[in-house]
Structure 1
């Protein structure tokens, strides 16, 4: 999980190095297109894959949500500091908790409601509406977290029927196809240097996801989840040292509030599962 966090910070740093030279939609498209090279070992499994209409619909819906989320994320990266992107990205588990009530029929206990309210308070601390001018990148990150939460919930459903590796491969292909028309609409020819940066982005992203899978297979979520929050520390440090982004105590404080809320929900869920282990497909998660 430490390696996962470093890789994901590497993703944000390499995207930041583009400095907006390549439009957000095109940057996202090239990152996913270049990342398809890592799917080559899976081509036989993909060729022999037979999916039901329902699985096709779920995969397409997930790809659509992830496509729009990735565009918003690349847009935000070009406009707001690394620390703010990282801190606001922690809202995704909060969105997941809320959406699970409507999508998966889960119940929301008072403790979880209070944790969600606290996380939203942390987001307000980061944004500080009325006390500073908000950038479109901030709103893009709010949308990004919501769309990634939708993608995550669909992944929880679809991995009941498909292996995580196949689900990830289908996501990579569908997002590449989904991003193509958006990239074409704003296309500018990137330099070879920018292509190299985007290849590094794809490499970091793939390595990060692989390391995360290994971590989830080796330890419970209660062990792995807290380590992901080191990303905020690294993002603040890298932003200050390499991109001259001042350390904003409100961003750090708001991020810690969100982190505390997510950690509380994670630990609470782990305690409940320890008391009652589900007998259905939920055990796969």
Structure 2
């Protein structure tokens, strides 16, 4: 999980370095195109093997939701400090918890409802509407959090219809196809340095997901989840050292509140283990 956290901070750092020189849709498309190249050895067997009835509709739905989320994330990452994007991103598992209750019929006990309310309070501490300007970058990152949560919920439905490898491979393929028209509509020339950075983003993201999967296989969420929250520390240091961003105490405080709420939900999932309740995971990423 420590290696996974470093990998995902590498993703955010490279996208932050790219800035606004590339449109968000184009940057996201190139990142996923590189990801599909990495997954080509697995895509062929997956497509030839076929899918259960109804699976393709869910793959398409997840691709559409994830496409919007990725565009929003790239847009926010180019305009907000690294730590701020990371802190708001911690809303993902909270939104997954709410979505599982609304769309999958899972029970949402009072203590979990209170934890969700605390997490929302943490988000308000970060955004501070009325106290400071809430920019389009902030709104984009909040939208991305909703989108990634929706993508994870669809993936949960797909987990009973296809293998984990097929779900990941098809997500990459569908998102690449979904991003293509948006990218072509705003296409600008790309430099070799930008291509290299986006290839690095794809490599870091692949590494992050692989390390996270390995960690989940050998340790419970109560062990792995807290390590994930170190990403906020790494992201803050990255912003300070590389991008000379000032440390916003309110962002750290709000992120801490969200982390506390997610940690409580994770602990409750351990207590209620094997009762069919969706575990809150960080629905990552781009």
* TM-score under structure 2 length normalisation: 0.95
Pairing 1:75–2:75 present: yes
Conserved 8 A contact 1:32-1:172: yes
* C-alpha contact (below 8 Å) 1:160/1:281 kept by paired residues: no
1:1-285 map, 5 Å:
1-273=1-273, 277-278=274-275
TM-score (norm 1): 0.95
The 1:40/1:103 distance shift into structure 2, 3 A limit, reads same
CA contact (8 A) 2:27 2:198 kept: yes
Alpha-carbon distance between aligned partners in 1 of 2:107 and 2:228, rounded to the nearest angstrom = 26
In 1: Cα distance, 2:257 partner to 2:265 partner: 13
Partners of 1:69 and 1:150 in 2: how far apart? 9
Compute the displacement of 1:53 (Å): 4.0
| Aligned-pair Cα RMSD in Å | 1.5
Unaligned runs of 5+ in 1: none
Question: Which segments of structure 1 move beyond 4 Å, counting only runs of 4 or more?
Answer: 280-283
Conserved in 2, the CA contact under 8 Å of 1:28 and 1:74? Answer: yes
Q: Deviations over 1:192-223 (max 9, x none)?
A: 11000000000000011011111111111111
The C-alpha deviation readout for 1:118-159, integer Å capped at 9, x for no partner, is: 100000000011111111010001110001000001111101
Report the CA distance between 1:45 and its aligned residue. Answer: 1.7
Equivalent-residue separation in structure 1 for 2:216 and 2:90 (angstroms): 18
Q: CA deviation at 1:181?
A: 0.4
How many equivalent pairs are there? 280
Cα pair 1:87 1:232 within 8 Å, conserved:
yes
